[in-house]
Amino acid sequence: MDRRSPFDELESLLERIDAAQSMGEPDADIRDTGESFEVVVDLPGYESDDIEVEARERTVRIDATHRESAEATGADYVRQERNKRSVSRGLTLPEDVDESEATADFSNGVLTVTLPKAHADEASTSIDVE
């Protein structure tokens, strides 16, 4: 009879909880400045090149994917979990925005997207992250 250690079962449970949390959406704040909406999202561990922001009418979508570089190729890993992570968040704004005038800035792990209020075109627009 093969008996599992309760510690092995606990470790397995914690791994499943971590995996479920990593699939979650990043928290976001939306501020109405009067002339625009400012969306602020914490994305620690990501680079600006990892982030895509898209806006259309009253919606803004933020996707971030980061892949760890394989610096230690050929290393004998016992466990390797830091190879890829991604988050995604879609937000609905209270009013239409002028996505052609939108800007995005990423600094110290915080993404700030500024979306001026206006009537939007039908097509969605990508926003460059600086």
Structural domains in the chain plus CATH codes = 27-70+81-127 (2.60.40.790)
pLDDT digits (tens, 9 = 90+) for 89-105: 999 999 999 999 999 99
Render pLDDT for 15-69 as a digit per residue (tens, 0 to 9).
Answer: 766 655 555 688 899 999 999 999 999 999 899 999 999 998 889 999 999 877 6
Tokens 């997207």, located at residue: 113
pLDDT tens digits, 121-130: 556 677 888 8
Element (DSSP H or E) covering residue 47: none
How many Å apart are CA 45 and CA 26, to the nearest integer?
A: 12
Which residues have a Cβ under 8 Å from the Cβ of 89 and sit 6 or more positions away?
25, 26, 28, 41, 61, 62
Q: How far apart are CA 114 and CA 50, in angstroms?
A: 19
For CA atoms 83, 129, 124, 42, the dihedral sign is positive
